[in-house]
Structure 1
Amino acid sequence: MKKCRASCRIAIIGAGASGVAAATRLLENGFCHVQILEAEDYIGGRIRTIPFADNVADLGAQWCHGMKNNCVYDMVKHLDLVAPTGDFFNDVAMVRSNKEVIPLELGHKLQEMAYGSIPNDSTPAVGSMGSYVVEQFWKAVDNQIPDVDRELAVEFLESFQKHESSIEGSDNLFEISGRSHLEYEECEGDQLVHWRCKGYARFLRLLMKVGEDEPCELGLLNGRVKFGKKVSRIQILPGRKLQVDCEDESFKVDHVICTVSLGVLQKEMDTMFSPPLPPAKVKAIQSLRLGTVDKIFFEYETHPFPKDFVGFYPLWLEKDLKELRESKHAWLEGITGIHNITCQPRVVLAWVGGVHGRKAELLTDEEFLESMQWLFRKFLSFEMPEPKRFLRTKWYLNPNFRGSYSYRTTTADELDTGAWDLASPIMGEENHPSLLFAGEATSRSHYSTVHGATEAGWREADRLIEYYAICN
């Protein structure tokens, strides 16, 4: 006999945006036995807001991407919590490794052509995004500014590709699906809506109905989150039951919603699930990717940049890049940009990603800071003091994440798989939805975003709500 909402037991793996969204949706619809098992010691997952400098730093998700048909923005737009970033980053300088600053007008023209080279129509690009961008960019250069310094254009294109890879979450643009733009739906409006002085954690508090000054564990999730519970095994048992094993205890439940990151699935799926996952889901897990994007927050006594200097994108001269790759600072090739940050008057934010980001995570703080100070001296005509303190993320090294956010690959194109296979539920006896999957990587149209993760959590909660629409 099917249980009802008041009696069935549900375990949610992970207290990130997707897990919190699923749990709160279920609790608001009459489910009484909902438990979140979280491997970390905080609620949020890849949303991680902490006190830093004059207010807070978002170590993970930082911006709300778009203002129309975005469930995150819809929840906060009337609460004076967010603001558009607008043209804040328009005047970030392009600086060559010989300290030459590219004229702003030329920089804007190069950016206009580069962004115009990204596939965005109804026709899939053949092969990878990278090959398409390179071909279209050089066509635009030849047509619009044929007399431009070709070495400079090469340096710019390399810098742009690294920057765009950081946005996509990939190691490079040549591994990104040429049809990804057909599936990902960009929400209209400012793509960098920021959280003023509160941070992204305010969104989670709204989901959980927790006041600004209350502990996160209160609200709807009061007593329903177990911290330090890394799940080692999920077994589907006879009789429409599942067993979830952690290191120190096990749980018998009727349903599991698994929201762990794609990186964790890739590393642990062979031992985590019994019986093994079906081939279609394995193919999706193996074909999609979870990229590495890390941040470095530098706090200074007073802001070190000259007035009107927003930040810079590093452009490497060929000879300097060759020397860099043979030096102990080689990981700096992965720095995609360094700039001011809204609502933090004494903070500079730098970004590093891909294989270089993963190498950077292995450095000691002393080695890391030495390299960054070397970079500042190499590119800037003014002196950068040592920071009062700095904070850096290590999303790849954390075994509970193993990366930052997902992207669609050329391999997924070739194998005709994607988020839809990752999202498909594992059905038990009598079409019982036993094992469900959520998380940003399971979102077909909004992967890599908080709103995609939230929608995925609601999707799986709604699956159970519908299943228990009529109790037998």
Structure 2
Amino acid sequence: MDKCRASSRILIIGAGTSGIAAATRLLQNNFSNVQILEAENRIGGRINTISFGDNVIDVGAQWCHGQQGNKVYEMVKDLGILHLTGDYYSSMKMVRSNKEEVSQAVGCNLHDIAIRSMPSGPNPVVGSFGTHMVESYWRLIEKEMPEVERALAGEALDAFTKHESSIIGSDNLFEVSVREHIEYDECDGDKLQHWGTKGFQRFLRLLMKVSEDEPDDLGLLKGRVNLCKKVDKIELACPNKVFLRCEDGDYFEADHVICTVSLGVLQEQAEKLFVPPLPPAKVNAIRGLSLGTVNKLFMEFDQQPLPDNWVGFYCFWLQQDLKELRKSEYFWLEGITGCHKITCQPRLLLAWVGGPHGRHMETLSDEKVLEGLMWLFRKFLTFEVPTPKRFMRSKWYSNPNFRGSYSHRCLKADEKKTGPWDLETPVLGPDGHLGLLFAGEASSKNHFSTVHGAVEAGFREADRLIQHYSSCSSNP
């Protein structure tokens, strides 16, 4: 068994969470010939912790979502490196575009109704998330808050659905399958556990068993990660071989390949990337699932501009103001879901922008984005926010190695009768060889869009190969 595992050549495409999880699992189970090909000039994929402000920021994945059934939490829970956020964000202010601050009592009631309007339970099982939620929301408003101003209730609904879309990673809730919300397995416990001053890269170092004394080392993966190696051809060949070609002309030969590239890259390149073409069910899944765009805008100040009793604020747009905004160059600001302080970063503000507005934001210069943010602050706030001393943002959609942030299950997937299970299914070579395996968060049946889903998927495919060689006693 050990000899088979030791001699088997495994290539992993992508040094993100899923690829790193798969590689470390294999190496710890006597697979000694494991290499990773990574298109970027860094490891981590959609985990990207960088120095900024008073310590570090996570440009991508930021929180550990939940505890029970969360693979990431289970791996670090006894190390004392995760910090609970608790109800830190529950006191976010709700501000209308006429600078009126919604009372806490009214705002909390509207938010509670919005939460309870989200579909749950075995029914409904068809249709869009947005349709079910909007209908339920207005029924509850009529029943429980008949006295509330209808315009304000509508602004609250718009703000909440926009926020929920950013959590899901969708352009809007009407494209999201209601079955996603019901079938997604939300882990119980604090949904916004953070990494203090270490960032999510701390978890990657744990996976790779990197010593605290040598944080720049790759631990188990030392000498096994090939950066700036973008794969442009994957060929399943006989007998029992997989050939890979990189854009720089380098060729690699393997017995098995684990592909962990993002769904967005698969959607853009699958037709020309794989030889022979992928099976119809796999193509159906790639075309049916969706990868959304959610971006972050980080602003550093000499001192925190928000009042001490403000964690942040949500934007409630009056309809007339929204109409005017949509006709202006700042139309993309409609996609701002909120702006808030960051735990462990006292001088920073973080704004979120997603969907088509987030994609448009990526096309603008830093100066234009900052100009828009300063306009937004003046529009909503009664106090002055100075121009930040430093600014940076994510651009997940325009990066050709990602083409988006994280996946969700849309109505199109239901129509095509497909889902992560089809994305997960391995592809056999022409001789029946287990040649091509797929991992990544989008292939997780119940934890898609999360880091713990990516970890599970990486472990899943590593375990598939471990099981494949469980009864092998000679070289393959």
Residues 175-194 of structure 1 aligned to structure 2 (within 5 Å): 175-194=175-194
**Deviation at residue 83 of structure 1 after TM alignment:** 1.1
Partner of 2:202: 202
Partner of 1:313: 314
Partner of 1:173: 173
**Deviation at residue 430 of structure 1 after TM alignment:** 5.3
Partner of 2:265: 264
TM-score normalised over the length of structure 1: 0.98
Partner of 2:467: 466
CA contact (8 A) 1:358 1:396 kept: yes
CA contact (8 A) 1:14 1:260 kept: yes
**Deviation at residue 428 of structure 1 after TM alignment:** 2.3
State the AA in 2 paired with 1:395. Answer: W
CA contact (8 A) 1:205 1:216 kept: no
**Deviation at residue 271 of structure 1 after TM alignment:** 0.5
**Deviation at residue 125 of structure 1 after TM alignment:** 4.1
Partner of 2:102: 102
Cα distance between partner residues in 2 of 1:213 and 1:174:
49
CA contact (8 A) 2:205 2:218 kept: no
Larger mean Cα displacement after TM superposition, 74-83 or 164-173? 74-83
Please report the RMSD computed on the Cα atoms of aligned residues, expressed in angstroms: 1.3
Cα distance between partner residues in 2 of 1:158 and 1:247:
44
Secondary structure, aligned partner of 1:11: strand
CA contact (8 A) 1:438 1:456 kept: yes
Partner of 1:433: 434
**Deviation at residue 181 of structure 1 after TM alignment:** 2.4
Partner of 2:330: 329
CA contact (8 A) 1:202 1:212 kept: no
State the AA in 2 paired with 1:48. Answer: N
Cα distance between partner residues in 2 of 1:260 and 1:353:
21
Residues 4-153 of structure 1 aligned to structure 2 (within 5 Å): 4-153=4-153
Partner of 1:398: 399
Larger mean Cα displacement after TM superposition, 399-408 or 428-437? 428-437
Secondary structure, aligned partner of 2:328: coil
Q: How many residues align?
A: 472
Change (3 A) 1:408 1:216: farther
Deviations 1:5-50 (A, max 9, x none): 0101010000000000000000000001100000001110000000
Cα distance between partner residues in 1 of 2:126 and 2:136:
12
CA contact (8 A) 2:94 2:102 kept: yes
Cα distance between partner residues in 2 of 1:15 and 1:293:
21
Change (3 A) 1:71 1:368: same
Cα distance between partner residues in 1 of 2:154 and 2:310:
24
Cα distance between partner residues in 1 of 2:213 and 2:344:
20
Partner of 2:357: 356
Cα distance between partner residues in 2 of 1:448 and 1:265:
16
CA contact (8 A) 2:238 2:431 kept: no
TM-score normalised over the length of structure 2: 0.98
Cα distance between partner residues in 1 of 2:138 and 2:218:
55
Cα distance between partner residues in 1 of 2:100 and 2:65:
33
CA contact (8 A) 2:236 2:275 kept: yes
Q: Tell me, which stretches of 5 or more residues in structure 1 are unaligned?
A: none
**Deviation at residue 126 of structure 1 after TM alignment:** 3.2
Q: Tell me, which stretches of 5 or more residues in structure 2 are unaligned?
A: none
Cα distance between partner residues in 1 of 2:43 and 2:461:
19
Partner of 1:235: 235
Partner of 1:157: 157
Secondary structure, aligned partner of 1:34: strand
Partner of 2:244: 244
Larger mean Cα displacement after TM superposition, 241-250 or 400-409? 241-250
CA contact (8 A) 2:239 2:431 kept: no
Cα distance between partner residues in 2 of 1:14 and 1:20:
8
State the AA in 1 paired with 2:230. Answer: K
Cα distance between partner residues in 2 of 1:315 and 1:334:
12
State the AA in 2 paired with 1:199. Answer: G
CA contact (8 A) 1:94 1:312 kept: yes
Deviations 1:276-327 (A, max 9, x none): 0000010000010000000011111011111201111001111100110111
